[in-house]
């Protein structure tokens, strides 16, 4: 049997300087020092950068070599191209003038934790493959559950409950929906009979994961909401639809309740929804991706009232708890309901600890097998800042949003579309003058958003509520201070004056 010949230098040790050592200690230290300097300089200067870049699709291919490199280059070359070509094309979520979507918060502790986790490069699919990483994740989830005052059944210290840190809310929805689907199939048989429910304000991820889980699109129910319920899911409407489906031979299987919807921060009544779901033995999942963070403050905890009636709950510290993407925490009352659907036992992953039943392997609570050490950055944030500073951070953002809302209400050219929840203000230009229609107000609001974003001084996003075009002003970027919110409001006032004056001219 033949073999590949080795170069003579590899045999006699010649040309040792040419040996490729991707983790050479001197290189690691040098590269990371330069990267850390770039990060620190970036965060210090990001306020001066346009929030939205003025680039066109495909711009980067004109700046960087379209052909892949075949030979090595000094690390400084990559750093220069990063500064000169990549950074100018970034939308700066870290900017204190970023008010779009929901914030992507960060902190020194989280960045440090993520860096260390990346260096360790742990692949934690089983307890044996990463004992400390598995146990630190479990401990940190219990810490956060305690801060949220989740009931004991959701904690790993109270078997069979527990949790897992996933990448996104979509994954949390998917794994719980798959578990609910399989439980329903065991009772009934037949995918075509399963029906699932959410409000029409539920994040679009829900409808995507329904497709991934094989739920018939004809049986995915988006219950209409209205201003009368502040765009929250109405439990009576939900019950009527579930009864109608059950009467038609369908099996109500899963309900997604949201605490803090994307469009307006509406809060669905978890207790009332759980009451209805219990009639049909349907799984209740609570999506508290953004607003769940606020519930670490006692004054907001009522939004999670009756969460003990839910089967699962998820929230994303990367949105509002100073922990960089990606980090979504999922808790379930009974981890066995996940592992029954997601467990895999190939021979090459068999080990005594897993076989003992004393641990739950993370691979059996998620879509994939490999698992990043996300728990380290969340633990670093909780250990470094403690509850008091995290609560201070949330309360400061809410106070700034309240200040902005008061400014909007004081200006008769605007209306607040829904009462503010947490740190999101939904507003629009109102009908102004005898000749202006609601459609004109929509168009003026759209023009306002476009003009603001083109300045590069702020970035805001929109939604449609009750058929009307609405601007969303989300406070919470980590570097944001009151002066940034006031500056944004002054720009909004000035630009609106120009728009309305132009329409009257």
- Separation between Cα atoms, residue 316 and residue 117, nearest integer Å: 19
Nearest to 175 by CA among 337, 409, 321: 337
Q: How far apart are CA 122 and CA 376, in angstroms?
A: 11
Q: Which of 31, 290, 348, 385 is catalytic?
A: 348
Q: Is 254 a catalytic residue?
A: no
Helix, strand or coil for residue 58? coil
Contact (Cβ atoms closer than 8 angstroms) between residue 213 and residue 178: yes
- Collapsing DSSP to helix, strand or coil, 201 comes out as coil
Tell me the C-alpha distance between 50 and 386, whole Å: 33
263: left (phi over 0), alpha (psi -120 to 50) or beta: alpha
CA distances from 469 to 281, 417, 425, 445, 447 (A): 38, 10, 14, 7, 11
Cα–Cα separations (whole angstroms), residue 362 to 120, 154, 242, 313, 353? 18, 16, 34, 17, 13
Cβ partners under 8 Å of residue 401, min gap 6: 420, 422, 423, 424, 425, 473, 475, 485
Q: Find residue 254's DSSP bridge partners.
A: 196, 283
Question: Do you know the residue count of the chain?
Answer: 505
Angle 344-349-354 from CA coordinates, rounded to 5°: 80
Whole-number Å distance between alpha carbons of 336 and 162: 10
85: tokens are 């070509």
- Dihedral over Cα of 276, 226, 209, 342: its sign: negative
| List of E strands, 129-185 | 162-166
HEC readout, 217-246: HHHEEEECCCHHHCCCCCHHHHHHHHHHHH
Asked if residue 374 lies in contact with residue 117, where contact means CB atoms within 8 angstroms, the answer is yes
Active-site residue set: 348
């Amino acid at each position: 049997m033949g073999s590949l010949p080795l170069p003579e230098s590899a045999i006699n040790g010649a040309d040792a300087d040419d040996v490729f050592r991707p983790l050479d200690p001197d290189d690691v230290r040098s590269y990371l020092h330069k990267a850390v300097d770039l990060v620190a300089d970036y965060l210090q200067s990001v306020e001066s950068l346009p929030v939205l870049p003025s680039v066109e699709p495909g711009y980067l291919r004109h700046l960087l070599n379209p052909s892949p490199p075949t030979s090595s280059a000094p690390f400084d070359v990559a750093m220069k191209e990063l500064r000169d070509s990549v950074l100018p094309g970034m939308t700066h979520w870290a900017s204190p003038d970023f008010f779009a979507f929901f914030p992507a918060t960060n902190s020194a502790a989280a960045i440090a934790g993520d860096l260390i986790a990346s260096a360790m490069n742990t692949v934690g699919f089983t307890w044996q493959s990463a004992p400390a990483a598995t146990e630190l994740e479990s401990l940190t989830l219990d810490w956060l559950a305690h801060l949220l005052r989740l009931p004991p059944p959701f904690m790993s210290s109270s078997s069979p409950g527990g949790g897992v840190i996933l990448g996104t809310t979509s994954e949390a929805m998917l794994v719980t929906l798959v578990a609910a689907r399989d439980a329903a199939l065991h009772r009934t048989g037949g995918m075509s009979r399963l029906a699932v429910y959410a409000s029409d304000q539920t994040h679009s991820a829900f409808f995507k994961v329904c497709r991934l889980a094989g739920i018939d699109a004809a049986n995915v129910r988006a219950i209409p909401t209205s201003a009368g319920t502040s765009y929250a899911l109405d439990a009576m409407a939900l019950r009527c639809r579930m009864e109608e489906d059950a009467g038609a031979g369908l099996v109500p299987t899963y309900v997604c309740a949201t605490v803090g919807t994307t469009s307006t921060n509406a809060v669905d009544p978890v207790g009332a929804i759980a009451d209805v779901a219990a009639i049909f033995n349907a799984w209740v999942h609570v999506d508290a991706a953004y607003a769940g963070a606020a519930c670490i403050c006692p004054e907001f905890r009522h939004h999670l009232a009756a969460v003990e009636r839910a089967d699962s709950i998820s929230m994303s510290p990367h949105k509002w708890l100073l922990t960089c993407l990606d980090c979504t925490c999922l808790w379930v009352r009974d981890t066995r309901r996940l592992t029954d659907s997601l467990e895999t036992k190939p021979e090459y992953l068999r080990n005594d600890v897993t076989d003992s039943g004393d641990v739950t392997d993370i691979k059996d609570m998620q879509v994939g097998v490999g698992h990043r050490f996300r728990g380290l950055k969340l633990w670093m944030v909780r250990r470094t800042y403690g509850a008091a500073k995290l609560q201070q951070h949330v309360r400061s953002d809410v106070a700034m949003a309240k200040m902005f809302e008061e400014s909007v209400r004081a200006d008769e050219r605007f209306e607040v579309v829904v009462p503010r929840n947490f740190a999101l203000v939904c507003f629009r230009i109102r009908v102004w003058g005898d000749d202006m229609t609601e459609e004109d107000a929509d168009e003026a609001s759209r023009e306002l958003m476009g003009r603001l974003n083109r300045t590069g001084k702020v970035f805001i996003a929109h939604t449609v509520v009750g058929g009307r075009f609405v601007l969303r002003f989300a406070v919470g970027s980590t570097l944001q201070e009151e002066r940034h919110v006031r500056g944004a409001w002054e720009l909004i006032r000035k630009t609106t004056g120009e728009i309305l004056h132009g329409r009257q001219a």
